[in-house]
Chain A
Amino acid sequence: AQTVTQSQPEMSVQEAETVTLSCTYDTSENNYYLFWYKQPPSRQMILVIRQEAYKQQNATENRFSVNFQKAAKSFSLKISDSQLGDTAMYFCAFLGTNAGKSTFGDGTTLTVKP
């Protein structure tokens, strides 16, 4: 079974600075998909970024980028120029090609301080 580990329960960053959230996973599959979701205090889950394992290029979405290290099974999220609205709980998720459901990490609560 796949497992997803987020080793940082809580993190904080000053507004406008950069922060990196870590995520590691364990799988025997070669093709799979990785996602980062954001859950602000409103509790709605929002897809932030996705990465296909067969792509070597790291995904980027505006201020959000990932550092995908397939051999190390690591999938960290970098948030540049942090904004107060980035304050949320962030979940890393793994989806295998044959599995119907995603496996979620325990989440990292990020607080952006003014």
Chain B
Amino acid sequence: GAVVSQHPSRVICKSGTSVKIECRSLDFQATTMFWYRQFPKQSLMLMATSNEGSKATYEQGVEKDKFLINHASLTLSTLTVTSAHPEDSSFYICSARDRGGSNQPQHFGDGTRLSIL
């Protein structure tokens, strides 16, 4: 089955630090990857859609200068939380869709728990 690897799984760092999260599709090519934020017992909140070779599309209310997304290849997208503050603490999940067709389901990484002290 399709596997998405997300790394790191947990980050604890000081306020003001920038944190990079990687999302890799291991056995398929993904032209599109998605970045979500999830608060406890709540649904996924889409932050941005990452397109290989072009700029990411951000959802309304998401600061693009705060959450930098790079999708440099068909198997890798990165999310960088710049100058992180305690309010950025959350669970971040990436997902990817196989380029094989628009009917493909999204495959999810295991998520990254970010804690800003």
Q: Which residues of A contact B (CB under 8 A)?
A: 33, 35, 37, 42-47, 50, 52, 89, 91, 93, 95, 97-98, 100-102, 104-107, 109
Contacts across chains A and B counted by CB atoms under 8 Å: 51
Q: Which of B46, B49, B105 contacts A35 (CB 8 A)?
A: B105
Extra pairs beyond A50-B105, A100-B97 (10, CB < 8 Å): A43-B91, A43-B113, A44-B111, A47-B105, A89-B41, A91-B43, A95-B102, A97-B103, A100-B32, A109-B41
In the complex, chain A residues whose CB is within 8 Å of the CB of B67:
none
Query: Which 5 residue pairs are nearest across A and B when measured between Cβ atoms?
Result: A45-B108, A106-B43, A44-B110, A43-B111, A107-B43
Majority secondary structure of chain B interface residues (helix, strand, loop or mixed): strand
A89 to B103, CA, bound (A): 23
**A-contact bits for B2-39, CB 8 A (1 contact / 0 none):** 00000000000000000000000000000010100010
Question: A96's closest neighbor in chain B, by CB?
Answer: B102
Give the contacting residue for B34; candidates A37, A101, A106; CB below 8 A: A101
- In the complex formed, the residue of B with least CB distance to A44 is B110
Greatest chain B CB density within 10 A among A33, A43, A107 is at A43
- Enumerate chain B interface residues (CB-CB to A < 8 A): 32, 34, 38, 41-44, 46, 49, 91, 93, 95, 97, 102-103, 105-108, 110-111, 113
Is B105 a contact partner of A106 (Cβ separation < 8 A)? no
A104-B111 contact in complex given A33-B103, A43-B91, A95-B103, C-beta closer than 8 Å: no
Which single residue of chain B is at the shortest CB-CB distance from A32? B103
Contact among A52, A97, A104 with B44 in the assembled complex (CB-CB below 8 Å): A104
Question: Given A43-B91, A45-B93, does the pair A102, B32 have CB atoms closer than 8 Å?
Answer: no
Q: Which of B43, B102, B107, B113 is the one whose CB lies under 8 Å from A104?
A: B43
Assess whether B106 is in contact with A43, with CB atoms less than 8 Å apart.
Answer: no
- Alpha-carbon gap, A98 to B41, bound state (A): 30
Question: Contact at B102–A97, with CB atoms within 8 Å?
Answer: yes
